[in-house]
Amino acid sequence: MTARLLDGRALAARIEQDVRAEVDTFAAMCGRAPRLVVVLVGDLAASGSYVKSKAAAAARVGIDSEVLRVPETCQTPDLVALVAAIARDEHGPADGILVQLPLPAHIDQVAVLDAVPPDRDVDGFHPQNAGLLSQGRPRFIPCTAAGVQRMLIDAGIPTAGRHAVVVGRSDIVGKPLALLLSARPPSGATADAAGCDATVTICHSRSADLAAITRQADILVAAVGRAGLITEEMVKPGAAVIDVGINRVQGRLVGDVAFAEVSRVAGWISPVPGGVGPLTVAMLLSNTLLAAELRLGRP
């Protein structure tokens, strides 16, 4: 078998078209475009390039954005104060506020993320948004998890009653994705059209015999950050394999999945780059539009 490719770039472009149309309607009604303010601390090359691609995508769909750069040497209270000032619109209207991670090790990341008002929290990391998601009434869903679910729905990959194995238990990817896939469908939607009703197993660094668990997966998501972790013999024939990982190996970007060999056994596979990454950005745009609509009213 040769796996079908899950093209994240093409899907993200379609999502952007839809967001662009809604942004135009919003701007016509509210007299201004939705606006996103991003805080970038330090000069980590990867973070700089993620922020650049988020700002470029925002511009493509007509969302205004501003990046506030803060030196690496800043302290937690400075950052908390900056986020509070942004929330008071002191840096222009801030419908969505995003603090690019990771923060330097000396910063209290939880304190900074908790300072983002939950109704502007377009990354979906605030405990209130995490709580709403866990109760099955999501507001802002973490972008990467939302992107993976969207990818499954768009490809018509059934989820209802299927076994999804999520490798990685972070608050950013693994946990919210497990909640999304195992949720009840919203009223009126079928489970597969909503990408939910799956039976979900979460694996992590202390899981025993990872391969024995991943081999049971109809849907296998790797969100670890270790190149080549998922090999051919860890994948059930025909499974959908979604690779969230981003690793730099000898200057090249690769995922957590050994792409060439797993492509021989999987039914579907997402590439790195060009898979989940563009969808993460597309979902951020969608969350920013939602934040503006929650604030100023839905057109």
Binding site for ligand NAD (CB under 6 A): 144, 167-170, 172-174, 203-205, 207, 210, 223-226, 244-247, 276-277, 280
C-alpha–C-alpha distance, residues 168 and 166, integer Å: 6
Shortest Cβ 247–ligand NAD spacing (Å): 6
Q: For residue 103, what are its two tokens?
A: 């923060």
C-alpha–C-alpha distance, residues 177 and 37, integer Å: 25
Judged by beta carbon, residue 6 or residue 172, the one nearer ligand NAD is: 172
Please enumerate, as own/partner, the contacts of 87-91 that have beta carbons within 8 Å and a separation of 24 or more.
87/115, 87/116, 87/117, 87/120, 91/37, 91/66
Determine the length of the chain.
299
Phi and psi for 14 in degrees, rounded to 5? -70, -40
Please enumerate, as own/partner, the contacts of 89-93 that have beta carbons within 8 Å and a separation of 24 or more.
91/37, 91/66, 92/35, 92/37, 92/64, 92/66, 93/32, 93/35
Catalytic residues: 54, 100, 123
Judged by beta carbon, residue 33 or residue 151, the one nearer ligand NAD is: 151
